[in-house]
Structure 1
Amino acid sequence: MPAEPTAPPFQHDHVLDACFLGPYGENDALLERILVEFLRDHVYWRRNFHPEDPPAIGTAASLHPDYQAFEARMRRELHQLSAALKRSMPFHSPRYIGHMASDLLLPGLAAQMLALPYNPNNVTDEAAPVTVDLEVKVGLQLARMLGYPSDPARVDCAFGHLTSGGTLANYQALRLALALKAFPLALRTAGAPGLDLPDDDWAAFNLGNAATIDLLGRWQAWLAAQPPRERAQWHARVEAQRIEQLGIAGFFAAHPQLRLPRVLAPITAHYSWSKGVKMLGLGRAQLDLLPTHGMRLDADALAEHVQRCARERIPVLLAVAVLGSTEYGTIDPVDGVLAAREATRAQGLDFAVHVDAAWGGYLATIFRHEDGSLREREAIAAEFKYFPSPPLYRAFAALADTDSVTVDPHKLGYLPFGSGAFVCRDHRAMDLLAERADYIFHGEAPRDYLQRFRSLGQFIPEGSKSGAAAAGVYVAHQVLPLDHRNFGRMPRSTVRCTELFYERAQRFAAQVAGYLHARVPFEPDSNLVCLAFNPRGNRSLAQANAFLWRLYERLRPDVHQPLQVKEFFGSVTTLRPELVGAGPAHEILTSLGIDADADADSDGGALVVLRHTLMNPWLIDRENGISYIDRYFDFLMRCTAALLDRNPPA
């Protein structure tokens, strides 16, 4: 039997001490100095823009009664807001282990606050001459982290941009996948010459992203060589046949032998995919949710599903792998999704592969050297006790071969909300999403990479967007480059804490075994761990869930009470049989002493569990010798014993 793996020493990382404001506000003086320095710098900038202009606000203005009354109203409202915000969740504290939020990185927070008074609008370089460049560079930073080509000199360099969050980034993935899939048909229907197009609509609709991007380049080169009038005529002729012009209904009416394409995703995928297919006009019926194995996409089920699609000539638009599910943090076999696509290409079925890494994307920093190359699994494993398993390593290694990725800097990037990101592997595909707005964008699109994307609004869903958010993400990545020696310090620390939490959960289960069933229903892949409970002697799923809800009352916020009355904050979710699989769900319930067969219809068969997001860097406080993980399980022991009228174990 192999020896129990040994965890490496858990040492205090003093770099992390400077990264955040801190649970106790320890770095308040640092943040205050930065903000005052750059507020003054902003004011000096204003004063030195045409200093010959006189001040528009007189020096005596502050003495006028109307001025003073306005200031008093403003101060009153700000004081009321400040008081109300004290009821906010204490995301900064290691006592908060609920949703996907934690303290904010100081460089990102300070940079965003620094940029706010300039109010840049990252739709075009005319409204944001500085921060548009920063956003394009953020895309390159993220591309490098994922293993995509990130050198703008490369013809196939990746491209990324920020969004309000992962939902909009996933929608952008759908838009781009549909544009790529439909474009060869537009060329074929328009009779575009000299391009060696596929013989029929099915083949054209399944050309594949790389081939379509090559086709797009050849079409653009042919157009450029034509006289201006012919160029305009051919451009208009092809545009008239594009799905973006005809719409879903018109496009498929023009190609009646084609069926609406399907989007494939694991049943654990975020509900943004349901939103996305509706927004795109495909409809919810075209979203096929596939089963999981151990809460991770069942690669065999996916392979069988796409084989059936190939046999029945059902187009597939996009297959989604989730790199860190929102509810459970589990990581799908990205390599298995790519293998399923490769197997169906010979049968004439091709589709895009997108990774929804809104949660787990920044874990990729653990897997990257400073030069962007992939680290060996053995080197990574030496830093942990269990992480990464071979399947998990293969999933991260396969990111480089996917077509697009969603990443949320406002999750494991520790940056303010409103900072999601979409990254596609080849920037040339973005030509198919380009929109024209003559009052903003002028002239032909430049071919230089950075110059081209300065007109960012042509390519993104938004019409206006915060440049300050881009400044925050860019500066955070510059201070902490996205590799294992820099940014990787944070996910490394929290994954180590997750391993400790997992082991502490096993000890807790043994300690309370006399009066409570407790277990981790499935092993964690990332920084999320779930816990399931059931009082000893209870066989009812409904009663087990009722007990969990009573326990959760000790962990949930209460707007009618001060935050300080709560020792810890957590969250809950449900394990539904359709998510887990009937067999694993039955095994979990049985292991908890619940009669799964007798109570199968209760609560829809769903088991309520505690969900813990372990992303705070100070869950293990080496400075003060405190383990908030131990404190949390001591708290759980007291709470569960009290709810069952038992004395907590010694």
Structure 2
Amino acid sequence: MFAKAVRDTAKMLGEQSIPLWWPRYQAHMCTNLSMPAMLGYLMAMMYNPNNVAVEAREQLCDMFGYNLDPNNTKCLTGWGHVTCDGTVANLESLQVDLPLSRPKAMDDSDGLLKIITESFSVRTCQDRVKKFRELSSWELLSLKPKTIMVGKEVLERHFNMDKPAQYVVASTRHYSWPKDDCSWLTVISEILGIGSGNSVSVDVDENARIDVDRLKEPLAKNLAEERPVYFIVAVMDSTEEGAVDPLHKILALRQQFQAKGFSFPVHADAAWGDYFATTLPRGDDLLLTSAHVGSLAGRDGWDEGIVPNLPLQVDTQKDPYSLRFSDSITVDPHKAGTPYPWVP
């Protein structure tokens, strides 16, 4: 009787359930939960484990196509770590550097800031003036917050950087990206030294994806004004619309501006779209079609089951594939593929 009840219940749920497998069904946070993910979650729950960054980060970097071979000198080695949520991951991407990195940049041999080695001094927490490069690690970590914040302005004045850097993101951006109407995020933006007024919003097209032609306008303006850009954010599946920004076109646009002497990092906010990178074939060959994807999965056309064969559009597949060429990625699998609980 129990087995029959389970079968009848499964049949009823399968025939009458909501289409939560469809990425644009917006009534639930978790969509398209995969069986391996659910089984893995249930098994891991019995051991009540903490987040483990060392093992997971290499698997994620490998999934996105980052280089993991330290002997491969042609590519940087991918790395990452676990944060408390996707919002913090996005905010961490805004943090360009730390005080500990600056003395290395002033190194006499090959430091990027070696030209100011002898002239750049700061005031320690003991109110002593010392050359920045001579500070110990303890003194660096003990600098007053005001000194750290002002240090950025001193460097900007030294290099005649009278135009503050900006970052560019689509108007569909997640609420974790600072906006004028998000006071606490505006404060964080100020703390990081970016400034609340240095976020540039770019309109989207009829498919809720960033308009690359409109993206060219602020970049061309910044090039003409010699105003730097912290980075461009490509939204890989927006929370409200499920839209994927054309990352491969954004990367191609960066190459065009690099030829003009203007470059910038590209950050992929893939807190939702990261999961869909698992649906792509491995390797460098991206000659894909919908029929090809179906055949790889051992099926053609529509399944006989309740869930039809609905691979990503061929043009969209280029964007999760291009994640390997972005400089940083936000990964947060709780929105698709994995039943990961959200903890406030």
Q: Same fold (TM over 0.5)?
A: yes
Match of 2:41 among 109, 113, 121: 109
SS in structure 1 of the partner of residue 333 of structure 2: coil
Aligned CA distance change for structure 1 residues 150 and 184 (closer, same or farther; 3 Å): closer
Give matches, 1:230-269, under 5 Å: 233=134, 236=137, 239=140, 246-256=147-157, 257-258=160-161, 259-269=163-173
Q: Is it true that 1:377 corresponds to 2:288 in the alignment?
A: yes
State the alpha-carbon separation in 1 of the partners of residues 45 and 200 from structure 2. 42
Matched residue, 1:410: 334
Secondary structure in structure 1 of the residue aligned to 2:97: helix
Gaps of 5+ in 2: 1-5, 117-132, 295-300, 302-308
For residues 26-45 of structure 1, the aligned pairs below 5 Å read none
**177, 180, 184: which one aligns with 1:273:** 177
1 CA distance for matches of 2:144 and 2:260?
Answer: 25
**Structure label with greater radius of gyration:** 1
Letter in 1 for 2:196: R
Is 1:350 equivalent to 2:257 in the alignment?
Answer: no
2:211 matched residue in structure 1: 298
Q: 1:316 aligns with which of 221, 225, 229?
A: 229
AA in 2 matched with 1:415: P
Q: Which amino acid aligns with 1:194?
A: S
Structure 2 residue 49 is matched with structure 1 residue 167: no
| AA of the residue aligned to 1:283 | G
Contact 2:290 2:314 in 1 (8 A): no
Deviation at 1:93, TM superposition (A): 5.0
Contact 1:367–1:374 (CA under 8 A) maintained in structure 2: no
1:171-570 equivalent positions in 2, closer than 5 A: 171-175=91-95, 178-179=96-97, 191-195=106-110, 197=112, 233=134, 236=137, 239=140, 246-256=147-157, 257-258=160-161, 259-274=163-178, 278-280=187-189, 281=191, 282-294=194-206, 295-369=208-282, 372-378=283-289, 381-383=292-294, 388-418=312-342
Change beyond 3 A, Cα 1:345–1:136:
same
Shift of 1:411: 1.7
Take 1:387 and 1:358, find their aligned partners in 2: how far apart are those partners?
19
Residues of 1 paired with 2:237 and 2:154: CA distance?
38
Structure 1 residues 244 and 331: alpha-carbon distance in aligned structure 2, compared to 1, 3 A threshold: farther
Conserved? CA contact 1:381–1:387, under 8 Å: no
Aligned to 2:46, what secondary structure does the other structure show? helix
Q: State whether residues 231 and 264 of structure 2, in contact with CA within 8 Å, keep that contact through their aligned partners in structure 1.
A: yes
- Provide TM-score, normalisation by structure 1: 0.38
**Displacement, 1:406?**
1.3
Corresponding residue for residue 558 of structure 1: none
Contact 2:107/2:113 (8 A) holds in 1: no
Q: Which SS does the other structure have where 1:161 is aligned?
A: coil
Residue 148 (str. 1) matches residue 59 (str. 2): no
Counterpart amino acid of residue 150 in structure 1: L
**1:368, distance to aligned residue in structure 2 (A):** 2.8
Counterpart CA distance in 2 for 1:163 and 1:329 is 23
**Aligned CA distance change for structure 1 residues 293 and 269 (closer, same or farther; 3 Å):** same
Tell me how far apart the structure 1 counterparts of residues 204 and 338 of structure 2 sit (CA, whole Å): 29
Amino acid at match of 1:268: T
Q: How far off its partner does 1:183 sit?
A: 8.6
Structure 1 residue ranges without an equivalent (≥5): 1-20, 27-91, 123-131, 202-231, 420-650
Query: Aligned partners of 1:159, 1:25: CA distance in 2, in Å?
Result: 41
2 CA distance for matches of 1:25 and 1:110? Answer: 19
How far apart in 2 are the matches of 1:300 and 1:154? 36
Provide the rounded CA distance (Å) in 1 between the counterparts of 2:276 and 2:7: 22
Letter in 1 for 2:28: H
Secondary structure at 2:289's aligned position in 1?
helix
Higher helix share: 1
For residues 472-492 of structure 1, the C-alpha deviation after alignment (integer angstroms, 9 at most, x for no partner) is xxxxxxxxxxxxxxxxxxxxx
Classify the secondary structure of the residue corresponding to 1:350: coil
Relative distance call for 1:397 and 1:95 in structure 2 (3 A) is closer
Q: 2:78 maps to what in 1?
A: 158
Deviations 1:463-511 (A, max 9, x none): xxxxxxxxxxxxxxxxxxxxxxxxxxxxxxxxxxxxxxxxxxxxxxxxx
TM-aligned CA distance change 1:198 to 1:168, over 3 Å: closer
Query: Taking structure 1 as reference, are residues 382 and 270 closer, same or farther at Cα in structure 2, changes over 3 Å only?
Result: same
Q: Distance in 2 between matches of 1:326 and 1:243?
A: 38
Shift, 1:405, TM fit: 0.9
1:277 & 1:349 partners in 2: Cα distance? 27
d(CA) in 2 for partners of 1:268, 1:324? 10
Q: Distance in 1 between matches of 2:88 and 2:226?
A: 30
Any idea what the Cα deviations from partners look like across 1:132-189, whole Å, max 9, x if unmatched? 4xx22211111122111134665732112233322121112222xx118x9987656x
What's 1:648 paired with? none
Closer, same or farther: CA 112–386 of 1 in aligned 2, 3 Å: closer
What root-mean-square deviation, in Å, do the aligned CA atoms of Structure 1 and Structure 2 show?
4.0
